[in-house]
Amino acid sequence: MTGPAPRAHPANGLNDVVHQRVRLGILTIAHEAPRVEFGYLRTNLELSAGNLSQHLGVLENAGLVTLEKGYAGKRARTWVTITKAGQAALAEEITQLKLLISRIDRAGPPPE
């Protein structure tokens, strides 16, 4: 007779695309608004334009955000919208992080 299957470690549930500080930040901000502009993300995440573009590309390829290019007068603008998959991935990441924290808290401090 076998006992109950051991619970998977919460770290295994983390999505590599989302579990990255900048990409998690992008999804978090995009989740709060219908659309968010590239410049807002760059300022608030304190990133260079190239670095932010790379992270947005990863999220777009994973289907977690959509990018929309347009103009405000003569200024080019890129608007970012979180997709349903992005919202689900963000919610899952937050759940896994909370599980991880509670597991760390239950385990107590590491031995000296």
Partner 1 sequence: MTTEPAYPADDPRRLLLDTRALAQRARRAQRATWFPLLVLAAVTFAATPVYLYGGYQATCAAVPGAGPLGAPGRVCLAYSDAQLAYWPIALVLAYAAIAAFYIRRSWARGIETRVRPYAMAGIIIAVALTGAAIWEAHSPPVRPDMGLTSLGLRLAAAPVAIGLALLVLAWAERNRALLVLTAAYLAVVLAHFSFGWVIEPGLRWYFVPRLVIDGSILLLGGIGFALAQRPLRSPAP
- The number of C-alpha atoms within 13 Å of 16 and in the hemisphere containing its C-beta is 1
Residue 12 CB neighbour total at 10 angstroms: 8
Smallest separation (angstroms) from partner 1 to the CB of 80: 10
β-strand partners of 69: 78
Instruction: List, in sequence order, every beta strand (DSSP E) within 1-112.
Output: 36-37, 65-72, 75-82
Identified binder of partner 1 from the candidate list 9, 44, 63, 91, rule CB under 8 A? 44
Q: Is 29 in the site for partner 1 (CB under 8 A)?
A: yes
Q: Is 87 in the site for partner 1 (CB under 8 A)?
A: no
Binding-site size for partner 1 (CB under 8 A) equals 26
Identified binder of partner 1 from the candidate list 13, 15, 28, 66, rule CB under 8 A? 28
Residue 83 CB neighbour total at 10 angstroms: 17
The residues that touch partner 1, with contacts defined as CB under 8 A, are: 19, 21, 24-25, 28-29, 31-40, 43-45, 72, 94, 97-98, 100-101, 104
